[in-house]
């Protein structure tokens, strides 16, 4: 899967990383496309202390970071 961030940076989620996420957090399996939306269309965007950015998507009972 490949996404483009709000800052126009391409982000690739490999099958290996996706499988790791789903194995470690099976409860998120039905929300996997929300991860892409969090990257490309976050409701909030915060800059971290090392130049990284954190996107937050508000989805009723879930917050994706």
Q: What pLDDT shows up at residue 6?
A: 82
Q: What residue segments make up the domains of the chain, in order of their start?
A: 2-64
How far apart CA 5 and CA 58 sit, in angstroms, is: 17
Query: Encoding tokens for residue 8?
Result: 């126009």
pLDDT in tens, 9-34: 899 989 999 899 899 999 888 888 88
CA angle 37, 39, 43 (to 5 degrees): 70
Q: What pLDDT shows up at residue 63?
A: 60
Model-level pTM greater than 0.75? no
């Amino acid at each position: 899967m490949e996404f483009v961030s709000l800052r126009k940076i391409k982000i690739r989620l490999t099958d290996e990383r996706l499988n790791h996420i789903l194995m470690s957090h099976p409860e998120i399996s039905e929300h996997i496309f929300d991860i892409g939306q969090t990257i490309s269309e976050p409701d909030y965007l915060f800059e971290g202390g090392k130049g990284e950015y954190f996107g937050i998507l508000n989805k009723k009972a879930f917050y994706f970071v």
